């Protein structure tokens, strides 16, 4: 199978289940940003996450592939694919609670940083927020399924907690934001 097809040379791309859309469409922006997020999570994993963090992130990368396929497949398409469901967001809530139980309660905003893994997880969190904003806007125009936005909202919360937890596991305290 060749990697290039030339079918996108006109500025369009194919969706699962048929049909072509502009590469600048809101739907394509959504799953392109999810792909970027997945790549940053891969970077975080390569920068020395804890074994526990690596297990969480490995699972997330697989879920992000599901999300990408979900976003690339219109709801009305006849294609059978796995979709993001509310259970994906619920799983993230469980993970957040597990990590939160091991961390000092937040008393102030914290600055992103610490270990390379934690810093890249913070970067992933910001890209996740962008993906969420893009999906909210796209969902206002076409049905993406409510679970997509719920999942991304929970995912950014989880990534924040995991970034804090990775620093905690490495013995690095949170750096509080100090207002002037």
49-67: pLDDT as tens digits: 999 999 999 999 999 999 9
pLDDT above 70 as % of the chain: 99
* Domain coordinates in residue numbering, the chain: 25-74+82-101+111-171
Angle between helices 146-169 and 116-141 (to 10 degrees): 170
The C-alpha atoms of residue 6 and residue 2 are separated, in whole angstroms, by: 10
DSSP 3-state of 51: helix
Place of tokens 């697989």: 62
Structure-model confidence comparison of residues 2 and 55, the more confident one: 55
For the chain, give the mean pLDDT: 93
Exposure string (b/e) for 101-125, b if CB count within 10 Å is 16 or more?
eeeeeeeeebebebbbbbbbbbbbb
Is the confidence at residue 7, as pLDDT, over 70? no
Q: How wide is the angle at C-alpha 170 spanned by C-alphas 169 and 171, nearest 5°?
A: 90
* Domain 25-74+82-101+111-171 CATH class label: mainly alpha
Sign of the dihedral defined by the CA atoms of residues 149, 151, 157, 163, in that order: negative
Q: Which two tokens stand for residue 165?
A: 């937890």
The C-alpha atoms of residue 41 and residue 62 are separated, in whole angstroms, by: 11
pLDDT of residue 90: 98
Q: Which of 6-20, 25-39, 52-66, 70-84 has the lowest mean pLDDT?
A: 6-20
Q: Which two tokens stand for residue 29?
A: 């922006």
96-152: pLDDT as tens digits: 999 999 999 999 999 999 999 999 999 999 999 999 999 999 999 999 999 999 999
């Amino acid at each position: 199978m060749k990697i290039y097809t030339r079918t996108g040379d006109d500025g369009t791309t194919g969706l699962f289940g048929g049909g072509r859309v502009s590469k600048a469409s809101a739907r394509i922006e959504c799953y392109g940003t999810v792909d970027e997020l997945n790549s940053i999570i891969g970077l975080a994993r390569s920068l020395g996450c804890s074994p526990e963090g690596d297990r969480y992130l490995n699972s997330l990368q697989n879920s992000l592939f599901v999300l990408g396929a979900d976003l690339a497949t219109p709801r009305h398409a006849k294609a059978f694919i796995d979709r993001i469901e509310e259970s994906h967001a619920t799983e993230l809530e469980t993970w957040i609670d597990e990590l939160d139980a091991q961390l000092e309660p937040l008393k102030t905003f914290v600055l992103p940083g610490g270990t390379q893994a934690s810093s890249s997880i913070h970067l992933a969190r910001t890209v996740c927020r962008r993906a969420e904003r893009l999906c909210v806007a796209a969902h206002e125009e076409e049905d993406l399924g409510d679970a997509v936005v719920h999942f991304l909202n929970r995912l950014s919360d989880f990534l924040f907690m995991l970034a804090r937890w990775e620093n905690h596991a490495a013995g690095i305290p949170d750096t509080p934001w100090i207002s002037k």
